Amino acid sequence: MSEQVTVYGAYGHTGRFVVAELLERGYTAVRAGRDPGKLGGDGRAASVDDPAALDRALEGSAAVINCAGPFATTAGPVIEAALRAGIPYVDLAAEIEANADTFRRYGERARAEGAVVVPAMAFFGGLADLLATAAMGDWAGADRVDVAYGLDSWHPTAGTRAAGRVSRERRDGRRVRFVDGRLEYRDDAPPRRRWDFPAPIGGRDVIAEFSMADIVTLPSHLEVAEVRSHMTVEAAADLASPETPPPAPADGRGRSAQAWAVHVVVHRGAERRQQVAYGRDIYAVSAPLAVEAVDRILAGRTKTAGVASAGAMFDAREFLDALAPHVTAAPPACTAPASPPPPR
């Protein structure tokens, strides 16, 4: 009999990709979520304010993957249920504050219980964390990590928009960045700059300090004073516009035509190390990231216990290799210097 994994938020856009990935790898996927009407007859309905229902949703499962945002609302209750059940928890949270909450609230408890909790195991958060960890290699620390997102477009899901609203409310409309070893909230507009992406993308205008979950995941285990993430202006404009439609399927797997690259540059003094990854559809690629994490956790291929991001929990280079053909990751072939950091 195959191992059973509960997918909370299974009827959502990304949740459906996660269910399909689990089934493809031979798991039994238990579909769970807050809306009984969207689950159908074989699903397990469970509100986040009903611990007993959450316990039933996780009953018999070897792990749970939380795909249901906003994670400011769902992460805590589903983690609590996973801890009660004694099973690993993985989520796809891109919300900066929700991820910070998970580390702060559950770090000591999960470590004491020998539990495994992996937040942000998705395109935002998990992938860049793996790339940065691989790029760091034998360096004990770095001065700065830049994460540049080369998205050719961004058609946000309803869940992305809802999570964004919650994050903006939590930070009173301010933007946030990670500098001098801490989160810093600011009222000014983020700067723009030119970013030299490796071939075949090349130079693109980006919104600098377009902070994502990376400013929580990377500093959680890497000795780095500054983490900056940057987003192509086209993708940022798509996200900002209320007229941008949700992603539309463009192949047999339901993936959109969106192409992306993630370019990570780690700086230590005058030295730098780089890693780049390419792929298609930021939502679809979160499924192999999350399911590969579950594979490795259940096989005992982890480096620690407690709350840990992707690079701290797993061997980063092995994990990246395992993501093929969904992700192509390697040190970039180009040797041109990355753009200088924006003025502070």
Strand order in 4-8's β-sheet? Answer: 44-45, 28-33, 4-8, 63-66, 89-91, 116-118, 306-307
Q: What b/e string do you get for 276-297 counting C-beta neighbours within 10 Å, with b at 16 or more?
A: bbbbbbbbbbbbbbbbbbbbbb
Among 36, 30, 99, 93, smallest CA distance to 63 is for 30
Burial bucket for residue 102 (CB in 10 Å: 0-12, 13-18, 19+): buried
| Collapsed DSSP state (helix, strand, coil) of residue 31 | strand
Q: Provide CATH 3.30.360.10 ranges for the chain.
A: 125-281
Does the global pTM surpass 0.85? yes
Q: What is the pLDDT along the chain (344 residues), one digit of tens a residue?
A: 489 999 999 999 999 999 999 999 999 999 999 999 999 888 999 999 999 999 999 999 999 999 999 999 999 999 999 999 999 999 999 999 999 999 999 999 999 999 999 999 999 999 999 999 999 999 999 999 999 999 999 999 999 999 999 999 999 999 999 999 999 999 999 999 999 999 889 999 999 999 999 999 999 999 999 999 999 999 999 999 999 999 999 999 999 999 999 999 999 999 999 999 999 999 999 999 999 999 999 999 999 999 999 999 999 999 999 999 999 998 886 434 444 444 44
| Collapsed DSSP state (helix, strand, coil) of residue 255 | coil
CA 33 to CA 45: how far, in whole Å? Answer: 5
CA 287, 291, 297 angle in degrees (round to 5)? 155
Residue 128: predicted pLDDT: 98
Q: Which fold has domain 4-122+287-313?
A: Rossmann fold (3.40.50)
Residue 344: predicted pLDDT: 44
Residue with tokens 């942000």: 120
Bridge-based pairing state of the strands 141-149 and 259-268: antiparallel
Contact 125, 94 (CB under 8 A): yes
Residue with tokens 């990570």: 264
No. of H helices and E strands in the chain? 12, 16
Superfamily of domain 125-281: Dihydrodipicolinate Reductase; domain 2 (3.30.360.10)
Q: Provide CATH 3.40.50.720 ranges for the chain.
A: 4-122+287-313
